[in-house]
Amino acid sequence: MSVFDSEEHPHRRFNALTGDWVLVSPHRTQRPWQGKEEPPSRPSLAPYDAGCYLCPGNERAGGQTNPDYLGPFVFQNDFSALLPETPEGRHDDHDLLVAESETGICRVICFSPRHDLTLPDMSVAEIHAVIDLWASQYAELAAIDGINHVQIFENKGEIMGCSNPHPHGQIWAQKTVPDEPAKESARMLAHLEKTGRTLLGDYLSVELERESRLVCANDSFVVVVPFWATWPFETLILPRRHVRHLNDMTTAERGDLADIIKRLTIGYDNLFECSFPYSAGMHQSPTDGAEHPEWDWHMHFYPPLLRSAEVKKFMVGYEMLATPQRDITPESSAARLRAVTETHYAEHN
């Protein structure tokens, strides 16, 4: 038997941030593909669309009219999944049938008045303005009694279930800390208690030392394909300094965050020459009033594309029933992402 080589042999990797495992099968990347193929699409859009419910001056489904906004614009989601006035209550008359009421607030953020842009098309200054709005929204929602977690995210692309190409994201703020950040929170706290250092601070140190999973970096942030990545081109933005949430960042750091988001999303678009779909979002310290010294702000990008704009990864079969699995290794994904130019491919001609 030969010696174990993680570039060649099936293995599983531990996600130190959540405690989950992922199965990695690098030997499978050569397998033939006869699955679903769809034509690539970079929709050609007008800067303003009279039928868009997010464009300035247009009416939304709820009957409200958007103002003639010039920069990022936030409004309450007309179809909020969480509502502030839900009565408190609990059903636990049987151990196996437990339910409890949940309260919260859902908002939508338009990143730009322009219907035809996406984050990589926007300037660093324009993305900085979005980050400032994310930061003030986090602070405003955190200050509300009974809001203990604020989830900021973006669904991009039809295949991610995004309802509209107008650049926008969402905020769901709620009473309980949801499962993913709760798992991270517990692991971060255990690491701090054990070592006196933060988990993601230590993780960044080892990634900077190893280099094989680095994608790009600037003075304040580093992008890696995490060691435990599940999605083919999943990435994680890590801060170089201990910051628990956006409001711990200086103005210069927020500018650097805008820069790194622009470069990363340009790289994504270039990888398969399309408007690259993903779900992305940041995790910040819970807003339950505690200090949370264990928490480091970070941002996840979960893109579904596998080998081209036509081939998407599905989490099905073994992954639904057992554990997530990937073929291409995180190290080769990082190498491919590093190699794509930082000039947007659509500007080449």
Binding site for Zn ion (CB under 5 A): 49, 52, 54-55, 115, 166
CB of 345 to ligand H2U, least distance (A): 24
Nearer to ligand H2U, 158 or 319 (CB): 158
Q: Residue 275 binds which one of ligand H2U, Zn ion, none, with CB within 5 to 8 A depending on kind? A: none
Alpha-carbon dihedral of residues 33, 35, 39, 43, nearest 10 degrees? -110
Task: Residue count of the chain, please give it.
Answer: 349
- Beta carbon nearer to ligand H2U, 77 or 247: 77
Q: Using alpha carbons only, what angle is made at residue 280 by residues 274 and 282, rounded to the nearest 5 degrees?
A: 150
Q: Does 163 bind ligand H2U (CB under 6 A)?
A: yes
Best CA proximity match to 144, nearest among 181, 104, 102: 104
Active-site residue (options: 168, 191, 283, 300):
168
153 binds, among ligand H2U, Zn ion, none (CB under 5 to 8 A by kind): none
Q: Tell me which amino acid residue 146 is.
A: G
Q: Is 58 near ligand H2U (CB under 6 A)? A: no
Which residues does 121 contact at the CB level (< 8 Å), separation at least 6? Answer: 344
Strand arrangement, sheet containing 325-326:
11-14, 21-24, 325-326
- Ranges within 65-84 binding ligand H2U (CB under 6 A): 77-79
Window 167 to 196, contacts with ligand H2U (CB under 6 A): 170
**Binding of ligand H2U by 4 (CB under 6 A):** no
The answer to whether residue 168 is catalytic is: yes
When CB distances are held under 5 to 8 angstroms depending on the partner's kind, the choice from ligand H2U, Zn ion, none that residue 78 binds is ligand H2U
- Find the distance separating the first CA and the last CA of the chain, reported in whole Å: 52
- 63 forms part of the interface with ligand H2U (CB under 6 A): no
Q: How far apart are CA 18 and CA 189, in angstroms?
A: 12
Nearer to Zn ion, 49 or 202 (CB): 49
For residue 134, the minimal CB distance to ligand H2U (Å) is 16
**If contact means CB under 5 to 8 A according to the sort of partner, which of ligand H2U, Zn ion, none does residue 308 touch?**
none
The least CB distance from residue 64 to ligand H2U, in Å, is 8
Whether 267 and 340 have beta carbons less than 8 Å apart is answered as yes
Sign of the four-CA dihedral 270, 273, 275, 278 = negative
Residues annotated as catalytic are 168
